[in-house]
Structure 1
Amino acid sequence: MTTGRPAGYSAISSYSRVEILHLVQDHPRRTIAEIVESTSLHANTVREHLKRLIDDGYVISAAEDRKTRGRPRVLYSAADGGSASSAVQQRKVRAAAERGDLMRRVIPGIAPELDTAALHQVDALVEDLIDAGFDPLVDETELTIDLTPCAQATAQADHRDVLCSVHLSLMQGVLNEAGGPLSVDGMRSSCDPRACVVQLLHAGGRN
């Protein structure tokens, strides 16, 4: 299944947004001023990027709990499916599980390799990756998700380390939000910069 969207359609295809995500993943509860200082982007540009990331469920905002006078600052964190949970991502996860269950009921011959909770995690992760412009290929036996060729890594080759780190963190956030035994174990090494195979880990020891 694929939406046919180019990678450029995605909220995370812009390196400026990837950079912002990297900042709030590393250090949650960032202010606009802190993000501006770290990225050298204009404050209005940062606000626009943050709105897009919030709308897509990648970032959450919260008012600062302050004990002194003055307006509380707005603090921004990456949605991680745990302490920083996005209502947008929650809705996406539920909808993905419902669609996955429906597909498995109506298409004969599907024999899932995974338990229901893990399947729902994969449902959510695959839909999130498709929305991000990828065409994921899942191997339930090997617990891998092949995203090759990664158009984003090619287009942003100078920032591949940051890009991959951000994407892996986003994938883990989706798995956390869905709840279940699967987690991201890392990327399989490759000499091809376009190659991207993500290894998952099953808490029950499957991989």
Structure 2
Amino acid sequence: MERVQAPRPTSDLLSTLSQLSPKQVEVFRELQQRPDGAQVAQLAEALGMHANTVRGHLDELMSAGVVDRRVAPSPGRGRPSHIYTARVPRTDKASRAFIGLIEVFADTLDDGDTTAAKAMGRKWAAKVNAKHHTNLRMDLDTAEQCTAKVLREMGFDPVQRPDTSVGNVRELGLNACPFITAQGERPEPVICAMHEGFLDEGIGDVQVELRPHDRSGQCGARLTKRG
């Protein structure tokens, strides 16, 4: 029986994007704005480039595997034209979808059941660490760097708090939160607890404690060495 090949991991596509040239990125970003796809002439007009230049960039993007192409419907004869589509969604739209998913999981918990939320966050981290073979034993400074990286990738815009990062304590200030609405509505405590469990499990020897809204315009993440 022939084995059916699985779809390509989205993480591979995102990794490929980081290797594109500035001009390739420009063409790709314009294509991302058009979920139904676009033809070469449309992209050339929007970008102010020659059609042959755009076509060359699209060929390179197709070779990289981040752009797809299909034949455009044509009522007459002649050379068929093509419609190009981006294979990687805009990250802001993808993030909103995942945020909604996490909120659905949080709704399955009893109100205020932060213990269960932390446990769910730990399971989440354990699965991520198993896939990426993460080394959980690290010193406090390395743990701070790793935590900041994860928080930045998750959209929390972390910054170091030098005034409290002394001795066996490190603190990060979180200037943004994906779960705060445009109207300023704060997330439920179970959402914060889930992320705390994720961060705490994922950093191994270091304990991570989230401190929601502990400063004006910021939440806090406090790291201390266990034991």
Work out whether the TM-score is over 0.5: no
Q: Which has the larger radius of gyration?
A: 2
Q: Flag the structure with more relative contact order, 1 or 2, with Cα contacts below 8 A and sequence separation at least 6.
A: 1
TM-score (ref. length: structure 2): 0.41
TM-score (ref. length: structure 1): 0.44
